[in-house]
Chains A and B, each alone.
Chain A
Amino acid sequence: MVDLITSSGIWFGALLNIFIWSLVFKENRFYRFAEYMFIALSAAHFSVLGVKSILTTGWIPLSTGKISYIIPFILGFLLYARFWDNWRWLSNWPIAILVGVGLGLGIRGAVDVSIIGQIKSTMTLAVFKNPVQAGNNILFVIILISVIAYFLFTFALKGPVGRGYYYLTRLGRLALMAGFGIALGSTVAVRLSLFISQWIFLIRDFLRIV
């Protein structure tokens, strides 16, 4: 019985995999079947976890005496008011709370970790230790400044300063291209590793060739 359940699962998964890959030839009903199933499973899984989290993080404290937790329950239900035109305005209140918390936490993180932390680390780079490390650090700082200069669109500089600034931004553009190249190589590695994992599933588990 367990073998039947396992092998039916493998057949189901393999067929869905082949249906998705059939898009390479052309769009067809098998691909659509798998696509709609994927959307349904994804939405259902998120909803199930939502229900579980409401019960764990919300209902347990409410049932043990924290009456104030009724407020997020009411606000949570108000989110679904957006499906009725006349009551859509009610859903703006819980969204406003989520946006407010997200903004507050986001600003804190942006200032503390992303700006101050990164600038502090840049300013404490060693340039008087071994020459290779010093060279790397100097190049690092030049690239950092040139890329930041490239993203500055607030004003235009003219004259000799403007010309120098233009060459700085050109260096920034080249550095950005190098960064994009590395990102491209990394993205290829990710996609190929997922591609390979699907082939391993098909060859070892489904076709049982190895």
Chain B
Amino acid sequence: MTMKKNTVLKDWLRARATIILQIFLCLSVALPIIKPIGLPVPISTYTKGVYEIVESIEPGSIVLFTNDVSAGGWGEMASPTIAVMQHLFRRPVKIVFVDFFEDSPILTEIALNKVDKDDKVYGVDYVHLGFIPGYEMAIAMFAKSIWTAFPADYHGTALNELPLMANLKDASDFDIQIETQTVPAVPTSFMLQHIHSPYNVPLVVLSTAVSSPGLMPYLASGDISGITIGVKGGAEYEILIKTPGSGAATMDAMSTSHLLLITVLIIGNVFYFIKKYRRP
């Protein structure tokens, strides 16, 4: 009788394994959000490297911030984008924001509205030029002549009315480039080919976790000076600049959900081997 009950229970669980696992996944994410645990977040060498690069940018330098985030990737990339932007606004540097992907201009404005601009004046200390279509063609056009690519900025203001843009003619006028990279349509190799290589502009990439393995050869060769990886990189950066934000808020749930997935992966394989080697 007990054996029959166990078999019925096993069959019931097996039939509903999918929904049970999905409920566990939702709980592993929702519970740490409702009741934060405050698990520690060690800082990786990659994020520390980017922090030190931004911290060592010479005062008065002009930073090119190219935002190529898709709306689908904003949930992951909001954290590193806003954190690095905030760090730049705290430094005595000037920033030019450019977008080469369709979803990015509004996301750049959302990020700019979230950061504390620390008395920096639009048009003098920072400018948002907006979006230009064409991906690689657009980057090539922008690198050769900024004023041809953007006769006006994102808000429609003519470039000759923006003091910051007066002496910026092409990519050689920038001292460093920071790129947020999510979409295959605008890969980092385009930036390397048209901006970094011909004009020797150092490149730092804020990358998604999925793009980061493909960028490691460029990091190893020195083409990329630094990289942050995904939302974890963003959370680490928020800790380094002492301004916790959306990234830090996801870390507890990241830990619990990843642990659940690893456990399920191992348990699935244990069951597989038990089934494979069970005596008939």
Contacts and interface: CB of A to CB of B under 8 A. Distances in A.
A203 interface: yes
8 contacts: A50-B133, A105-B137, A118-B221, A121-B223, A189-B258, A192-B258, A203-B30, A203-B33
A132 interface: no
A24 interface: yes
Interface in A105-159: 105-106, 108-109, 112-114, 117-118, 120-121, 140
Contacts, number: 136
Contacts of A114: 189
Interface of B: 22, 26, 29-30, 33-34, 72-73, 75-76, 78, 102-103, 105, 130-133, 136-137, 140, 148-152, 156, 189-190, 192-193, 197, 208-210, 212-213, 217, 220-223, 230-232, 246, 249-250, 253-254, 257-258, 261
Contacts of B210: 183, 186-187, 189-190
Given A56-B130, A102-B137, A113-B197, A197 B76 contact: yes
A189 B232 contact: yes
A161 interface: no
Given A106-B136, A199-B29, A200-B246, A210 B105 contact: no
Contacts of A98: 137
Nearest to B249: A200
Interface of A: 24, 45-46, 49-50, 52-53, 56-57, 60-61, 98, 101-102, 105-106, 108-109, 112-114, 117-118, 120-121, 140, 179, 182-183, 186-190, 192-200, 203-204, 209-210
B213 A186 contact: yes
Interface residues of chain A: helix, strand, loop or mixed (majority): helix
B151 A60 contact: yes
Contacts of A140: 220
Residue of A56, A114, A187, A195 with most partner-chain B CB within 10 A? A56
Given A199-B33, A199-B253, A203-B34, A193 B76 contact: yes
B233 to A, nearest CB: 11
Contacts of B148: 61
A193 B78 CA distance: 11
A190 B253 contact: no
Nearest to B251: A196
B211 to A, nearest CB: 8
Contacts of A187: 209-210
A24 to B, nearest CB: 7
A49 B149 contact: no
Contacts of B26: 199
Contacts of B192: 109, 113, 117
B137 A194 contact: no
A206 B72 CA distance: 20
Nearest to A58: B151
A2 to B, nearest CB: 15
- Counting from the closest, the 5 A-B pairs by CB-CB distance are A197-B75, A121-B221, A109-B193, A189-B209, A193-B231
Contact of B136 (A105, A118, A189): A105
A106 B185 CA distance: 13
